[in-house]
Structure 1
Amino acid sequence: MFRFFENLVDPFSKYKELYNPPNTVRSFLMDYTKPFVGVFAITGVVATLAAASEIYLIYLLGWIIDIVSGDPSDVFENHSNFFIWAIVFVLVVRPLIFALDVLLINNTLMVNVATLFRWRAHKHVLRQSIGWFENDFAGRIANRVMQTPRSAGEVVFQVFDALGYSLAYVFGGLILLNSVDFRLMLPMAVWFLLYLCLIVWVVRNISPASKASSDARSNLNGQIVDTYTNIHSVKLFAYQNQELHSAKAAIEQTRQTFAREMRLYTIMDFGLNILNGLLTISLIGVSIFLWFIGEATAGTIAAASALAIRLNAMTGWIMWAISSFFRELGVIQEGMGTLADPIKLRDQENANILEITKAQIEVKSLSHHYGLKSGGLNKLNVTFRENEKVGLVGRSGAGKSTLLKLILRFYDVEAGEIHIDGQDIARVTQDSLHKNIGVVQQDSSLLHRSIRENICYGKSNATEHEIIAAAKKAHAHDFILNLQDEYGRKGYDAQVGERGIKLSGGQRQRITLARVILKNAPILLLDEATSALDSEIETQIQDTLKNMMKGKTVIAIAHRLSTIAQMDRILVLDKGEIVEDGDHESLLSTGGLYSELWHHQSGGFLKSR
């Protein structure tokens, strides 16, 4: 039974992925909850029936008191069938209605709404560009991906469990009182109007206060995650006190925003108690007055009293539900800053799959300054021919890494074009581009998974033999066999820790090399590929790299010039332009910038200007 309700909606069903998601809370929620429309309708009807059954129970109470006020001998003789119906209703019908209501809300909506939101939010975030991630805290992004779906689930829960049910209950109560005497309805109608005024005041104030509180929590989360992620720097520079001071300020800001939010709840509770007192006194008072003048029965007083007491108990819950509803809407609104952010770096409509024939790269009049007036690249023209090995040299900020990022299309170029085998990379799919390029970066961070899973990033369906062969070529197999994590997993099953923190820099780099070897892409980009290796391992890896480079177009960045001296060509960049182009010997003989950098090296590294 549970599984039936849990599977009424598939949270992973296919949907149209948008580059520009809806940018208002209402449209955002409506777009995400389209698969639930049918379930929403059924749940609304069932919630109304549940409220009606509660009102009917109060009606039964008044009826029973009225009939037992007469001759006892007539009660069962004239009303036995109705008593049987009342028993069946209380023991069978009403529990079944509430059971269906709870199953729909708890096992269909609560289980699947947050799951659907989380899945689609995570999928949308993964489609964003590298530049997008570089402009935000990873912790804040993750917090919004986790918290916003939870809040969406709470909003749906409150709509059907509290708001829909309570509205049906109030209107049912008004109908019940009106059916007895319209004058009984007046106190409740006045109370309801005053109650709505209180709700409007709460909503207007709680929504922005909740958004501010949620934003403060996200910022705090991002700051703390940033500290933990860079814990090595914190410890090495003895910066704990400064980090604590910064965290204290963020925690205090979170406390202040939360305190302002809670002030509203205190005012709400105070006003609610006054209104509830007025409802109880007025409703019971009017019913007693009508009884006193002979226009109401004892059953009427009992029903009115029961309704007043029930509403008195419900109003606090309803108000909290409403405030919770708008508080969670505030969280969703704050989360939409991430989850509804348009995807700016996108595949063109009908983008082609990149077809590699020669792996020749042409850079045409390429300029990119990251939106600034200076820095980056300036009108760059260069061709990386088929199977050519090219080294990029230059001082920091010359534009070397920018060129590699643009070839990978981590950013759209501001001017110019990049072609691979005659195909503009802006007109091919990003996935097909990245599948044909192997990259080894200086920062060789790994996923917090097993060694095997990290190497398999190069080829998801790789066999065990292929994985081990790639590790051996990267001189990683021997140390992998000696690994063991805290859970006793060994070798290729051992977990590497967040960003591969449990491994040394050289070990991480060799795992990175292994997965690039496994990928075996026709284009290879190396950004300080051996910078984290010691001399002995570097010598071994250089042989591995030579084998990796065979039959590939290679572009390599290195500050240690000895590592690229054997390249077919060396391009020297300065201030975003190519100032020298040639092999090692010819560049040395010209006595230009390359020759200057070569002779200024100390221990194999470039001297800063």
Structure 2
Amino acid sequence: MPKFEANIRTSMFNYVSNHSHSYFVQTHVGGIAQRISDMPKSAKLVIDDLLTVFIPLIVSIIASSSVFLSMHPLLAAIFFTWLGLHFTLCVFFCLKAANSVSVQSAARALLQGKIVDSMTNHLSVKLFTAHQHEMQTIKEAQADELQKYRYSLIYIEKFKMLLSLISIINITLLLYLAIKLWQQGQITIGDIVFTINSTLGLMTNLWFTGDEISYMFYEIGVCKQSLILLEEPTEISESTLKQIKVTQGKIEFDNVSFNYHNNGNIFKNKSLVIHGGQKVGLVGFSGSGKTTFANLIMRLYEVSSGTVKIDDQDVSQASLLSLRSNIAFIPQDPFLFHRSVLENIRYGNINATDEEVKEVAKKAECDSFIMNLEHGYDTIVGERGSKLSGGQRQRIAIARAMLKNAPIVIMDEATSALDSVTERLIEKSLQHLMVNKTAIVIAHRLSTLLHLDRILVFEKGNIVGDGTHEELLTKGGRYAMLWHMQQSGLLPEHDNGKKGIKMDKNKSSLLFPGQGSQVVGMGVELFNTFNEAKEVFSLIDETLKQNLSQLMFSGELEELTLTANAQPAIMAVSLAVMAVLEKQLNLTIQDLCNVAAGHSLGEYSALAASGVFSLTDTASLLRVRGDAMQSAVNPGEGAMVALIGTDLDSAQKLCNHVANYGACQIANDNGAGQIVLSGATIAIDKAIESATNFGVKKAIKLKVSAPFHSSLMQSAAFKMEQALKGVAIHNPTIDVMANFNVEKHHESITKDLLVSQVAGSVRWRETMEKITTHYEVDTFIEIGPGQVLSGIAKRMYPGSNVFNLHTPKNIEEFSDFL
């Protein structure tokens, strides 16, 4: 029996797996799984009943019948009449019972499908607070299934009552007749005893069988419903198809028409040739036909008319196995199994060794985050990869495609869930993936298509542009409009008539705040509103192996203010805002400005936003920086003071005045008459006492845990030098000003500038002056919590446009301004 069940289960799975893509799109997967699960169990129970109940009963009936015939014809006639009536009613009622059970089984499969559907989309349920709605949906399906279940049970019980009544009438008649015949001397007392024992024994067996037959027909009803899976014919018969051989990778659409069910034509008489080895980009608004074009190549759908050919071979005449083995597909929403990372990547080539898997993982920039997972490559990724961020899932999908090494590569928004830094890191890997291959790249970010041989512009199923980037820009038209709309950013989902933004990016600057801007609750609205922000916070939590986001959202301020926590936390909010701007407003950092600057730790945020560091490296560096700066001096030995209403010369004279008491130097020249001193506690206390003698209006001792940006931070600078050695650094995509020397960063000097910054001054006033004079900036956008930098900008440059972005509300206000 175990083998019998296994054969049914695997046969059904094999058959259903060969259904077309559209079949699974239109059918509840949970219901399919329920039927595949039910069929072996129900078939086993039916066979068990036949072997252990019905065959012994038939043997017993045959033996009893022969004895009754030998005793007296009248007794035999009553006996056969009873049996005939009993079995006629059984067949009649059980066939109807099987139909009612089949209806109930269909309702149960639908209920199972709805439960699986809800559980699969549990995150959407939570985000939209739709638990009660889902409960109502499940309750309605459950009520329908319960009603049909009750109907089938009541029907079966009525049937059993009728059989019982017939059996009682039968035994009464047999006993009455047997006694009469004995009185007439036609049968012996032994015959009466046999009649009673045989009839009662047979009634018992029939009663038991009647009970079992109701359950058997219930299982038959379940089997009948499960067999619906096998009644649905597969759309494609593999047995009659040929093996396709791909040598060049040439793709041809010959007079192709296609439409989805009950919809108008997506494509009508489309003809197109993509030569072998060409790298072709597909662009256009959502619904324009880009993904459908790719799906028809992979034969996920059948064309209505015309042919799709690969190397002059009609794909409709090719076996799906041979066709799809020659195509590597990277979807927009990567599909991962509830298995290990290693198994998911190896899916591209089941026979690949562990070393080959890890090699492609490194090329796809997966290895670094995989090694930080709890069990490395053996970590289970969860249902559909739920334990990984969107960007991590997409990188695994890219690694899987690399491992497949197919002659044709199709990428449907393959980098849409990656931050700009990671995208740049894997750009060379993607180019390596496409070498000597035909590549089709669907993208909203037009800047990712610049290196391709050809770009096809789709609009409502028609190709309205065909050429290289330069050719299409020269021609004008749809592509040129899209390019200028997004200014190298993200293509809008729909044509909403947006002509561009009012802000001149050449006169705008992004400012990233430093420590002191932290507050409990920062970032929580971003987390609750935008998936992009949620992914940033989750990735930082994972990198630091700490629930930092929970501390930010609802923790204790004292713990959040610890330097090791505050620095990555503030950066997290800044980078979450940047992710939201990119995904929701279609604005990359290049669209917003040509220059950016960050105050102290904010310099790291600015560098990460401009592609110098990855998000994970930035979080790790700031954790090291925070720990190093916190532990550079013993508690109480260092302090800082803010001088209000002074200038640089007066502050420097004050530092010289108290130099005999210990280290004291200018830590921050913030501008607008605000300067911060840092150093030994005794020297800072003396500076506060003497401040008014040097023209300082007010001296406010700051609540800090260490004397940041002073010579007492030399040990922290050394630790940062060591930490930066192993970090990959790239040139920024825009100019980023350095705190230490007010010059722009370059990958060759960034590490030195960041090491010097730890014990050096933050020259913020000079930075702002250079931004406004050299770059002619008149719009300042502070990216992150607090309003310190935007407040300084307003005081230094009254009349300028100043924004502070750290909540959904002020992001919306900024969008309205644009």
**Fraction of identical pairs, as percent:** 37
The equivalent of 1:253 in structure 2 is 144
Question: Take 2:282 and 2:224, find their aligned partners in 1: how far apart are those partners?
Answer: 46
**Residue in 1 that maps onto 2:385:** 500
Alpha carbons of structure 1 residues 373 and 285: separation in structure 2 relative to 1, 3 Å:
closer
2:159 and 2:262 map into 1 onto residues whose CA distance is: 50
SS at match of 1:458: coil
Query: Which stretch of the first structure deviates more once superposed, 545-554 or 192-201?
Result: 192-201
Aligned partner of 2:284 among 378, 381, 394: 394
In structure 2, relative to structure 1, the CA distance for the partners of 1:199 and 1:602 (3 Å cut) is farther
CA separation in 1, counterparts of 2:140 and 2:263? 36
Q: Which has the higher contact order (CA 8 A, sep 6+)?
A: 1
CA–CA separation in structure 2 for the residues paired with 1:204 and 1:452: 51
- Residue 429 of structure 2 corresponds to residue 544 of structure 1: yes
Q: Paired residue for 2:242? A: 352
Alignment of 1:478-557 (within 5 A): 478-484=368-374, 490-557=375-442
Q: What residue in structure 2 maps to residue 376 of structure 1? A: 266
Is the contact made by 2:95 and 2:217 (CA closer than 8 Å) also made in structure 1?
A: no
Give how far 1:295 is off.
Answer: 4.0
| Aligned-partner SS, 1:570 | strand
Does structure 2 retain, via aligned residues, the 8 Å contact 1:284–1:308?
Answer: no
Q: Of the candidates 45, 48, 65, which is equivalent to residue 157 of structure 1?
A: 48
CA contact (8 A) 2:257 2:265 kept: no
Q: Which moved more, 1:250-259 or 1:473-482?
A: 473-482
Q: In structure 1, what residue type is equivalent to 2:391?
A: G
Residues 595 and 520 (structure 1 numbering): CA distance in 2 closer, same or farther, change over 3 Å? same
Q: Does the Cα contact within 8 Å between 2:332 and 2:416 map onto a contact in 1?
A: yes
Tell me, yes or no, if the aligned pair for 2:296 and 2:302 is still in contact at 8 Å. yes
- Measured against aligned partners, the alpha-carbon deviations of 1:458-516 in whole angstroms (never above 9, x if no partner) come to 111111211111111111122222323xxxxx222222112111111111111111111
Contact 1:145 1:339 in 2 (8 A): no
The match for 2:252 is 362
Aligned length: 494
- The alignment partner of 1:382 has SS state of strand
Cα shift at 1:227: 0.8
1:165-564 superposed matches below 5 A: 165-347=56-238, 349=240, 351-372=241-262, 374-484=264-374, 490-564=375-449
Query: Hey, what does 2:466 align to over in structure 1?
Result: 581
| Letter aligned with residue 409 of structure 2 | L
Aligned partners of 1:525 and 1:291: how far apart in 2? 91
Q: Does 1:606 align with 2:491?
A: yes
- Of 456, 466, 477, which residue of structure 2 is paired with 1:592? 477
Opposite residue 343 of structure 2, the aligned amino acid is: E
CA contact (8 A) 1:375 1:397 kept: no
Ranges in structure 2 where 5+ consecutive residues have no aligned partner: 496-818
Q: Secondary structure at the match of 2:347?
A: helix
Aligned-pair distance for 1:371? 4.2
Q: What residue is the counterpart of 2:532 in the other structure?
A: none
The question of whether the paired residues in 2 share the 8 Å contact of 1:272 and 1:315 is answered with no
| SS of residue in 2 equivalent to 1:530 | coil
Q: Which has the higher helix share?
A: 1
Q: Deviations over 1:76-105 (max 9, x none)?
A: xxxxxxxxxxxxxxxxxxxxxxxxxxxxxx
Q: Helix, strand or coil for the counterpart of 1:345?
A: coil
CA contact (8 A) 1:375 1:575 kept: no
Secondary structure of 1:386's aligned partner: coil
Structure 1 SS opposite 2:178: helix
1:21 aligns with none
Give the distance between the partners of 1:271 and 1:315, measured in 2 at CA: 13
The alpha-carbon deviation at position 404 of structure 1 amounts to 0.4
Say whether the 8 Å CA contact 1:354–1:423 is kept in structure 2: yes
CA distance in 1, matches of 2:13, 2:252: 35
CA distance in structure 2 between the aligned counterparts of 1:603 and 1:356, rounded to whole angstroms: 35
SS at match of 2:227: helix
What is the RMSD of the two structures over their aligned residues, measured on CA atoms?
A: 1.9
How high is the TM-score relative to the length of structure 2?
Answer: 0.58
Partners of 1:348 and 1:427 within 8 A in 2: no
Taking the aligned partners of 1:514 and 1:593, their CA distance within structure 2 comes to: 34
* Pairs within 5 Å for 1:12-31: none
8 Å CA contact retained: 1:163, 1:321:
no
Bigger Rg over Cα: 2
In structure 1, give the amino acid aligned to 2:438. T
Taking the aligned partners of 1:431 and 1:555, their CA distance within structure 2 comes to 20
Q: Would the alpha carbon gap of residues 382 and 315 (structure 1) be closer, same or farther in structure 2, given more than 3 Å must change?
A: same
Partner of 1:55: none
* C-alpha distance in 2 between matches for 1:292 and 1:230: 79
Does the residue aligned with 1:380 lie in a helix, a strand or coil?
A: strand
Instruction: Name the CA distance, whole Å, in 2 between partners of 1:603 and 1:399.
Output: 22
How far apart, in 1, do the equivalents of 2:139 and 2:171 lie? Answer: 47
Residues 379, 577 of structure 1: 8 Å contact kept: no
Match of 1:566 in 2: 451
Which amino acid counterpart does residue 246 of structure 1 have in structure 2?
A: T
Asked whether the equivalents of residues 160 and 211 of structure 2 are also in contact (C-alpha less than 8 Å), the reply is no
